[in-house]
Amino acid sequence: MSDPDFTPDAPQSDTLNDFTPEPSEVRRVVVLISGSGSNLQALIDAQSHDELGGEIVAVVSNVADAHGLVRARDAGIDAVALPHREYDSREAYDGALIKVIDRHQPDLIVLAGFMRILTPRFVQRYLGRMLNIHPSLLPAYQGLNTHAKALADGIAEHGCSVHFVTEELDSGPVVIQAVVDIVDGETEASLQQKVHSREHLIYPIAVKWFLEGRLQLEGDGATLDGTRLPPQGLRLSHADAAEELDEELDEE
């Protein structure tokens, strides 16, 4: 996808020796997963094409046999299994997770299907540098089973949202959303597939914005290039997302 990048090209150096400063240190990302890691793969693919703005230095899973750990190893990324069932409390687990994460000194924590409710201690430690992706157009359908809920309600539009993580579940400021039109005969499986495609489209974009210093959490809102984003963040319409994904627009 073409990044909606509003930053003009840097001017050419006019110094005597055409001095070029040393490149800044590569920004570091730790990804947390619980399952197959399809969003992780989208991030790995973006990194392989120099479209992530940084480097995934570790992938951590609370499920020891999560397929996402295989994806990480295949990409040469440090893969860490930290099973939550080995800890007697949520607080104890999050304390251990903090130690693992901090060992890698990340600039950003990315939740990619990490099926854990985080403790306030954990959230506050990484507040402003932790992103999540959720399969709905937030604030609609927080929590689980979003596709089934959308179909049951008979709504016309569904989608996904990237947001900053705060203490309240699925309630942090939204950065970017992508819309899916719900068509006649839609099933939970077909809707899930279309939403997944949009997740893989927008998550690398949001991560890149953050790693480039363009995206920030400021108070109770998110800003991009210093401009406060609206409550729904930047929103890709169904048609725009479908065009990026080479989907057929006529689905009737």
Q: Which residue numbers are catalytic? A: 134
**Kind of pairing, strands 55-61 and 28-33?**
parallel
Give residue 179's Cα distance to chain centre.
Answer: 16
- Give which of 95, 98, 139, 132 is closest to 115, Cα–Cα: 132
Spatial separation of the C-alpha atoms in residues 230 and 221, rounded to whole Å: 8
For residue 150, give Cα distances in angstroms to 122, 140, 155: 31, 9, 6
Distance of alpha carbon 121 from alpha carbon 250, whole angstroms: 48
If you compute the radius of gyration of the chain from its CA atoms, what whole number of angstroms results?
19
Please report the sign of the dihedral spanned by the C-alpha atoms of residue 85, residue 91, residue 95, residue 97. Answer: positive
